Amino acid sequence: MLYGQRVMNWAYADEELRKSITAVFAEQVGVVIWDNLAEGTVIDSAVLAQLVTNGVWSDRQLGASRNIATVNDRLWMATGNNLQVGGDMASRTVRVHLDPDMPRPELRDQTGFGIPHLDQWITIPANQLTVLWHLLVMVLDWTRQGAPKVTGLSMRQFTPWAQALGGFLAHHGIDGFLTNAAEVREIDEDETRWRAFLTTWHERHAGRPVTAADLRRDAEPLHLGSDLHDPWDGQFITTAAGRLPNPLQLGRLLTGQAGRWRGDHVIRAGRNERGDRAVFWVERHQG
């Protein structure tokens, strides 16, 4: 509200999401908010990962045949209850968690707040001006002291930003920035699935190399009388559609994950003794 915002509905299809992103770049707003996502939504989109990674957004102009390229200088936000992140989004996300610790928080007594009904108060232009003035004073005070940064914070390609913002907050005695980074990784749906898969794989096969076909065969349900038993107890990795991959799909998935640590486990890839087949095994970090 201080710098200009645009509130949009979340597009659950990547193509629609891409179109809405391109359209909003034509507007003079600094903050883009996808508001009120469905509860438990997993934010895992190749389009969104590209958006928050690249300094320039390129796409075909809506209603035209030419491409456009725009500097990506916006802040992108999403709101919702119990949201999760998947893919690489966890390491590119700052999570703000609000817990009123009570039912029906909209009915609570407002007299205990420094600014009762803040959501209404902040819409008044004079109040916005007051907040912006104080914010600029805080920024100038920080820069006059040399704009100290916080070392030790790491956030992939956003590390310089995180260290600067962490330094600004620390300078003014505000702690807690990015202290929930481990918690964000815990809500990384993709990380959770792979970590459980590798843990179970190591428990069943230790470090023994297996082909993708052998590993997939190991996931076949067992007939115990009239019942079917899942030897992996639901922990075998699945496709985006939630189905068990075929050996070819599994081989591609494992190749794409080779060398990437998931918790204390990592997939390694190599060739069998004859050198005619790819094999995979899981190593566990002994820390």
Burial of 111-145, coded b for 16+ CB within 10 Å and e otherwise, reads eeeeeeeeeeeeeeeeeeeeeeeeeeeeeeebeee
How high is the pLDDT of residue 185? 62
Q: Per-residue DSSP letters for 186-237? A: HTBHHHHHHHHHHHHHHHHHTT--B-HHHHHHHTSPEEETTEEE-TTTT-S-
Q: Residue 157 has what pLDDT? A: 79
For the entire predicted model, the pTM comes to 0.65
Cα–Cα distance measured from residue 72 to residue 80, given in angstroms and rounded to the nearest whole number: 24
Distances (CA, A) of 214 to 19, 109, 211: 43, 62, 5
**Residue among 1, 5, 87 nearest 48 (CA):** 87
Q: Residue 13: its pLDDT value, please?
A: 85
The tens place of each residue's pLDDT in the chain, 287 residues long, gives: 888 889 999 988 888 999 899 989 988 899 999 999 988 888 878 888 888 888 899 888 776 677 888 999 899 999 998 888 876 777 788 888 888 787 777 777 777 788 888 889 999 999 999 999 999 999 999 999 999 999 888 787 788 989 999 999 999 999 888 887 766 666 566 777 888 999 999 999 999 999 999 999 999 988 777 777 889 999 999 887 778 999 999 999 999 889 888 888 999 999 988 888 999 999 998 76
Report which of 286, 2, 278 is spatially closest to residue 138, judged by C-alpha positions: 2
Q: Name the residue ranges covered by the structural domains of the chain.
A: 1-93, 107-182, 189-284
CA-CA distance, 285 to 109, in Å (whole number)?
51
pLDDT for the residue 217: 94
Would you state the pLDDT for residue 188? 63
**Sheet (strand 278-284) strand order:** 261-262, 265-271, 278-284
